[in-house]
Amino acid sequence: MNFQLDEDQIAFRDLAREFLEKEAVPHRAEWDRKESIDTAILPKMGNLGFFGMGIPEEYGGIEGDQITYCIGMEELGRADSSLRGVVSVSNGLVARSILLHGTEEQKHQWLPGLTAGTQIGCFGLTEPGTGSDAGALTTRARRDGDDFVIDGAKVFITNGTWADVCLLFARTGGPGPKGITAFLVPTDSPGFVATTIHGKLGLRGQATSELSLSGVRVPASAVLGEEGRGFSIAMSSLDKGRISVAAGCVGIVQACLEASVAYAGEREQFGRPLATFQLVQDMIAEMSVDADAARMLTWRAADLVEHHLPYGTAASKAKYFASEAAVRAGNHAIQVFGGYGYIDEYPVQKFLRDARVMTLYEGTSQIQKLLIGRAETGVSAFI
């Protein structure tokens, strides 16, 4: 792959950074304290193309390749990971799944609003009793004439209380992955209740929710793809979603690096700038190397997607390395800032808190290691 960005990619990066420096960075501490971003920013982001990346123009998108998408996610991660999460789920997991697996009717019904940021999607997979073991989910959809009736619960659902449509996974058949079907469920459906989860360690600005479904009725036309193919749709979406998470983590590492370099150049101890101390430079050097390494792993995975080559293992490597690197960078940045890094007047404590969950969702670091190990050995360690 070519590591040099083209003119369009550079222009998008610069436009995204300029917008986020003006519209997000000055407000991220306030949003973090209030546990909610100002959702008025979402249509503005839609106008700029954040929600339309990778979606054809006929459905309201801006096209763009996978590297451009990673650039967008990195800039969002650099500014405020809560915004990255909103876009990554609504665009990356929901809109792109509709694009790949939906009927023309479903595409025209949902994609224009999702790409504009005037409608938001959520991804209803995780349940209170099933996290990494998604194939064991218990939410059930039973056939009733021309409809399905859905009952169950979901948890840790990004965008849940803001979403207009939920890409929901429910059991229509027997046990195991082959019994799962994907549905596009309008969130204003009777019996669909979303409740915000408060008190999170990080990503406090994005809505994370519990979903309760009691007798939610949807027509058979709400099935995304074929009945019984929901698990494969979910896993395929998450493979690509891991690239998005990795790119956002690159942004966190980059933000930690930039903040640390600036602070070390300004702050003086023992009569000289912090930047002149060897151990401070050691931490800055580690952040710099991690940023480059995580970015290259992420772009490699994106390039494989772009060329229609197998990318699952590469996505796991990128997600694993970048998320762990983001936690390391957050710790290093706080160490550079000292006591000031521990208070929310400075952003590095937020970077660390936001980074910590990246090692958990869309596949924990331990799950990524198992996937990588299976790819290397040909032996599954799950059993």
Which of the residues are catalytic?
A: 362
Rounded to 5°, angle at Cα 380 from 92 and 326 = 45
Helices 41-48, 104-116: axis angle to 10 degrees equals 110
| Cβ 257 vs Cβ 329: under 8 Å | yes
Environment class of 378 (CB within 10 Å of its CB; exposed 0-12, middle 13-18, buried 19+)? exposed
Separation CA 344–CA 188 (nearest Å): 37
Indicate the residue type of 297.
Answer: L
Of the CA atoms within 13 Å of residue 174, those in its CB half-sphere come to 0
Largest Cα span, the chain: 79
Q: Around Cβ 19, how many Cβ atoms within 10 Å? A: 18
| Cβ 134 vs Cβ 234: under 8 Å | yes
Q: What is the DSSP letter of 152?
A: E
Q: How many residues does the chain have?
A: 383
CA 167 to chain centre: 15
* CA distances (Å), origin 203, targets 67, 86, 88, 186: 24, 10, 13, 25
